[in-house]
Amino acid sequence: MTQGLFARLRRVGRAATARRFWQPALSALVVVLVLGIGGLQYNQWKRFEATVSLSRAGVEWDLFQLQAERYKMIAKLNEALLTRGDPAVMDEVLLRYEVIISRLEIMRAGSGPREEFRAPRNRPLFERMEAFAQAGDTYFHDRDRPPLYDEARLRDLRRALEDMAAPLQEVVLNINTLQNEEALARVQQLREQAVLSGASSLALAALVGALGLLALRQLRTTRQKNAELMAVQAQLQDALDRAEASNTALRESEQRLTGLIDTAKDAIISIDQSQRIIVFNSAAEAMFGRTTEDMLGETLDVLLPLSTRPGHAGFVARFGELSGAPRAMGTLSGLTALRANGEVFPIEASISAFDAAGRKAFLVIIRDITERERAFRALQASEASLREAQGKVQQLAYFDSLTQVPNRTHYVTEIVGILDRALEHRRLGAVILIDLDNFKAINDNWGHRSGDRLLIEFARRIVEHVPEGTFVARLGGDEFIAVLTGLSADVAAASADVRDTCRHLLQALQAPCVIDGREHACSASMGVALFGDAPLNADDLLSRADSAMYQAKADGRNDFRFFDQQLQAHLVSQAELEADLRQSITREELSLHLQAQVDARGVMVGVEALLRWNHPTRGSVSPAQFIAVAESSGYILRLGPWVLRKACDILASWSRDDATAALTMAVNVSARQFHHPDFVNQVVDALRQSGANPTRLKLELTESMLARDLGVIAQKMATLKALGVTFSLDDFGTGYSSLAYLQRLPLDQLKIDRGFVHGLPDGASESAIVRTVIALGRQLGFEVIAEGVETADQLAFLRQHGCERFQGYLFGRPMPLNELLAVCGHS
């Protein structure tokens, strides 16, 4: 405890010396001040008193030790005076003090025993005191000497001290209210009074102790004020540090914000409530061509075109009147801005409002969308081009390029939905298949340009003369189809409506059409099929309409027919017939019958090969039935080459017999067979494989096949003609006869149709036509043959007018080869 006390005293002394609170006159009192502090801490000195007891004897104190004890007694005396302590305690303190003074005098005089213990003189005062305190076995007392005082002196001392106690106490009690100089002056006055009055050294010591106490209290007050000041200063410094840190963070934040604003690609402009610009970043300078120095303090009007300035001010003012937290006003498009050079350009602006130092402000982020607008316009143009291209593709894919009506693909797509809706709503509908009569002859005779214009006109007439909402399409060639929907659920009523539509169409299509100054008359045949009363697919529906259309053609054309059950039965029969026909060659059910051709003398000069079919269950099937089926199904492309090979085989066998070697073989060639790309090769192969003489082969062509690709026909005929093959024009006068092809084609023979021969000799028109054909043949150098000669009168008329070749039942019916040879007397 004692060691800690002295350590504290040492620190207090050092602090007091360092702070220099007093003027130089008071610096000598620092030690007294320290002891005064010790006096106020009296309770902590008790252990030291117990250790250093004045009543113990043993060792003489040295001067330093006694001085320390002296100062200690002064401190205790001061405390007793200030607290008006017990007189007995005060007497004891006085006694001890006098003892200490006596000892000091003795030691200064150099008398008295000395202890071997010596504290180093060169050490500071408090360190020497601490060293003295650590020596626990060091005591002093001289029992052999008498007391150095008596009771009279003690009373004098006490009285002198009491005389000074009251004024001294007044100074001490009022020291907090007195100024330093005033307090020191009072203490100095008391000291002088004590000296003049001859007071003992004890009174002076008490006076000096009071002065030390005064210094101590003043020190405490100063230290307390300094501590408070330092606390305030620390708080102030802490606040300053925090403010500095906040300012540093703010400056860093501002620097980062400034950096972000300056590096932003978009223009960032901030305006205050008076619409003055307070921020104008680098991107804004580049965008508008204006500097920040020029723009600060300006309004946004200078950045806006004249036409938009009035509305801008009102808009910002209205928004500024709204209250609330910072908020975004949204992104505005379709705006324009003005550059310094007068250029107006499109922008997109994002505007938000915020509070700046308690005042409203606005942040505007502006993006130049010139390139975007340019790209958008380019994209729009590209999209327009794409839509146009898509429209063209759509037009090409689903519309006929010639007539601009829907094509077959479009029809197939639409008819499925139409059939489903009709069946769902129980409403009948109808398809009308329209085929132009003799269009191919007109197209090829007058050129494709005229044919195309005729198709365009017919398409226009069909669209105009069908009910509104009718779907009209061109299936291909000269075939059109009209789909009527929403008819009555009653079959009779629906059929009546369709009949009226067909009559209007026939009337419209029969009207003459003038193309390139020439008037063309044409007609159409129509087939009608109803739907909606039972499930039906698109293929079956079209097949029904097609069958009805061909029935109209068979009945004379320029008319319409409804598909019915009888026609359905006919279609089934035709389908079964076709299936059997396709097996006829494999089953060897086909054969050639030959009909003789004679000259004017009645001598056979050749034959015509006619195909016959003998079915195991059907029996002999008429060529009028199965040839048509073969043509429509395409099976004629197999029958034709088969007939050619069989005919050439017969010619080859006849060439080995002088009686038959000069006979010719006429073979009918269908249009589909002749137009096949491999037709010439088929003829050449049949001749080569059989070894027949090409000059004995005669190919019979019909007028209908000559109406198409006349140049290709002439080339094929010329190729075969070079081999020796001859050509006959069958059924002359029944088709679209033209002198043009008679002149261009390498024909050898004209064949008068049996229809004209049948009316001879009484029919005036038939007679005139026959005479004309015979005369034409003579003029062109063609051989003329008449078929269907059945009577002698017919033969006589023909001979009379110059016909030299004949064929008909008058000379023999078609018969197998062996029968023909037997009748003619050949083996």
Which pLDDT tens digit goes with each residue over 409-453?
A: 889 889 989 998 888 888 889 999 999 887 777 777 777 777 888
Short-list 367, 375, 373, 336, CA closest to 350: 367
What local confidence, expressed as pLDDT, does residue 784 receive?
A: 94
Residue 43 has pLDDT above 50, yes or no: no
Q: How many whole angstroms separate alpha carbon 324 and alpha carbon 103?
A: 90
Asked whether residue 677 falls in the same domain as residue 614, the answer is yes
What local confidence, expressed as pLDDT, does residue 280 receive?
A: 86
Q: Tell me if 692 sits within 8 A of 652, measured CB to CB.
A: yes
Asked whether residue 559 falls in the same domain as residue 585, the answer is no
Question: What confidence tier does 102 reach under pLDDT thresholds 50, 70, 90?
Answer: low
- Which has more confidence, 116 or 668? 668
Residue 496 has pLDDT above 70, yes or no: yes
Domain limit, last residue, from 563, 591, 619: 563
Angle at 654 between CA 652 and CA 656, to 5 degrees: 85
Question: What confidence tier does 126 reach under pLDDT thresholds 50, 70, 90?
Answer: very low
Asked whether residue 702 falls in the same domain as residue 756, the answer is yes
Point out which residues pair with 531 in neighbouring strands. 429
Q: How many whole angstroms separate alpha carbon 562 and alpha carbon 783?
A: 45
What local confidence, expressed as pLDDT, does residue 217 receive?
A: 55
- Which has more confidence, 217 or 611? 611
Asked whether residue 132 falls in the same domain as residue 10, the answer is yes
Both tokens assigned to 679: 């037709």
What local confidence, expressed as pLDDT, does residue 350 receive?
A: 81
- Which has more confidence, 580 or 31? 580
Mean pLDDT within 397-419: 88
What is the maximal distance between C-alpha atoms in the chain?
A: 212
Asked whether residue 586 falls in the same domain as residue 557, the answer is no
Both tokens assigned to 544: 């029904």
Asked whether residue 623 falls in the same domain as residue 756, the answer is yes
Q: How many whole angstroms separate alpha carbon 167 and alpha carbon 268?
A: 81
Short-list 646, 598, 631, CA closest to 795: 598
CA distances from 230 to 12, 176, 222, 362 (A): 18, 21, 11, 46
Mean pLDDT within 72-93: 59
Q: How many whole angstroms separate alpha carbon 487 and alpha carbon 645?
A: 55
Kindly tell me the sign of the dihedral angle through the C-alpha atoms of 562, 566, 572, 575: negative
Query: Is residue 251 in a domain?
Result: no
Length of the chain: 827
What local confidence, expressed as pLDDT, does residue 340 receive?
A: 87
Structurally, the chain folds into a number of domains equal to 4
Query: Is residue 384 in a domain?
Result: no
- Which has more confidence, 3 or 753? 753
Lowest mean pLDDT among 67-81, 759-773, 810-824: 67-81
Asked whether residue 39 falls in the same domain as residue 124, the answer is yes
What local confidence, expressed as pLDDT, does residue 57 receive?
A: 31
Residue 42 has pLDDT above 50, yes or no: no
Beta pairing, strands 359-368 & 471-476: unpaired
Question: What confidence tier does 114 reach under pLDDT thresholds 50, 70, 90?
Answer: very low
Residue 115 has pLDDT above 60, yes or no: no
- Which has more confidence, 88 or 705? 705
Question: What confidence tier does 220 reach under pLDDT thresholds 50, 70, 90?
Answer: low
Lowest mean pLDDT among 133-142, 216-225, 303-312, 437-446: 133-142
What local confidence, expressed as pLDDT, does residue 5 receive?
A: 36
Residue type at 657 in one-letter notation: D
How much helix, strand and coil, in percent to the nearest 5, is found in the chain?
Answer: 55, 15, 25
What local confidence, expressed as pLDDT, does residue 51 receive?
A: 37
Kindly tell me the sign of the dihedral angle through the C-alpha atoms of 758, 763, 766, 770: positive
Lowest mean pLDDT among 359-363, 657-661, 698-702: 359-363
Mean pLDDT within 325-348: 76
Query: Is residue 394 in a domain?
Result: no
3-state secondary structure of 278: strand
Which residue is it, tokens 């009251």? 166
Asked whether residue 653 falls in the same domain as residue 773, the answer is yes
Mean pLDDT within 499-507: 91
- Which has more confidence, 255 or 266? 266
Domain limit, last residue, from 200, 227, 254: 227
What is the helix (H) or strand (E) element at residue 655, kind and residue range? Answer: none
pLDDT tens per residue across span 156-187: 655 665 666 566 556 555 554 555 566 666 66
Mean pLDDT within 692-703: 92
What local confidence, expressed as pLDDT, does residue 598 receive?
A: 95
Lowest mean pLDDT among 154-158, 585-589, 693-697, 780-784: 154-158
Question: What confidence tier does 210 reach under pLDDT thresholds 50, 70, 90?
Answer: low
pLDDT tens per residue across span 277-296: 888 888 888 888 888 888 88
CA distances from 589 to 621, 650, 820 (A): 11, 18, 20
Mean pLDDT within 391-415: 84
- Which has more confidence, 412 or 256? 412
Cα 303–chain centre separation: 34
Asked whether residue 52 falls in the same domain as residue 200, the answer is yes
3-state secondary structure of 786: strand
Cβ burial 365-395 (10 Å sphere, 16+ → b, else e): bbbbbeeeeeeeeeeeeeeeeeeeeeeeeee
Tally of CA atoms within 13 A in the half-sphere of 767 that contains its CB: 12
Asked whether residue 301 falls in the same domain as residue 407, the answer is no
Question: What confidence tier does 809 reach under pLDDT thresholds 50, 70, 90?
Answer: very high
Separation of first and last alpha carbons in the chain: 170
CATH number at residue 763: 3.20.20.450
Q: How many whole angstroms separate alpha carbon 170 and alpha carbon 348?
A: 87
Residue 826 has pLDDT above 80, yes or no: no
Lowest mean pLDDT among 233-242, 320-329, 621-630: 320-329
CA distances from 125 to 41, 67, 131, 137, 752 (A): 19, 11, 10, 21, 168
**HEC profile of 45-84:** HHHHHHHCCCCCCCCCCCHHHHHHHHHHHHHHHHHHHHHC
CATH number at residue 285: 3.30.450.20
Residue 253 has pLDDT above 60, yes or no: yes
Asked whether residue 591 falls in the same domain as residue 727, the answer is yes
Query: Is residue 603 in a domain?
Result: yes
Backbone angles phi, psi at 422, to 5 degrees: -65, -45
Q: Tell me if 353 sits within 8 A of 329, measured CB to CB.
A: yes
Backbone angles phi, psi at 641, to 5 degrees: -60, -35
Lowest mean pLDDT among 81-85, 402-406, 644-648: 81-85
Residue 519 has pLDDT above 50, yes or no: yes
Which residue is it, tokens 């006596």? 102
Share of the chain above pLDDT 70, in %: 65
3-state secondary structure of 373: helix
Q: Tell me if 284 sits within 8 A of 261, measured CB to CB.
A: no
Angle at 126 between CA 122 and CA 128, to 5 degrees: 50
Q: Tell me if 575 sits within 8 A of 517, measured CB to CB.
A: no
Query: Is residue 678 in a domain?
Result: yes
Mean pLDDT within 9-17: 41
Mean pLDDT of the chain: 75
Domain limit, last residue, from 534, 563, 592: 563
Q: How many whole angstroms separate alpha carbon 284 and alpha carbon 293?
A: 12
Question: What confidence tier does 28 reach under pLDDT thresholds 50, 70, 90?
Answer: very low
Query: Is residue 710 in a domain?
Result: yes
Beta pairing, strands 359-368 & 327-338: unpaired
Angle at 586 between CA 582 and CA 589, to 5 degrees: 85
Q: What is the DSSP string of 151-190?
A: HHHHHHHHHHHHHHHHHHHHHHHTTTTS-HHHHHHHHHHH
Residue type at 451 in one-letter notation: G
Residue 130 has pLDDT above 50, yes or no: no
CA distances from 294 to 150, 280, 289, 362 (A): 103, 10, 11, 19
Residue 41 has pLDDT above 70, yes or no: no
- Which has more confidence, 394 or 501? 501
Q: By residue range, what is the domain housing residue 631? A: 580-823
Query: Is residue 25 in a domain?
Result: yes
Cβ atoms within 10 Å of 396's Cβ, excluding its own: 11
Short-list 486, 491, 484, CA closest to 505: 484
Q: Which span out of 75-84, 351-360, 391-400, 585-594 was modeled with the highest average pLDDT?
A: 585-594
Question: What confidence tier does 327 reach under pLDDT thresholds 50, 70, 90?
Answer: low
Beta pairing, strands 429-436 & 479-484: antiparallel
Asked whether residue 545 falls in the same domain as residue 643, the answer is no
pLDDT tens per residue across span 581-631: 999 999 999 999 999 999 999 899 999 999 999 999 999 999 988 998 898
Q: Tell me if 206 sits within 8 A of 161, measured CB to CB.
A: yes
Short-list 515, 514, 478, 484, CA closest to 400: 478
Q: Tell me if 190 sits within 8 A of 207, measured CB to CB.
A: yes
Residue type at 169 in one-letter notation: Q
Q: Which span out of 33-42, 353-362, 474-483 was modeled with the highest average pLDDT?
A: 474-483
Short-list 704, 675, 746, 728, CA closest to 443: 704
Q: How many whole angstroms separate alpha carbon 100 and alpha carbon 383?
A: 120
Query: Is residue 172 in a domain?
Result: yes
pTM: 0.43
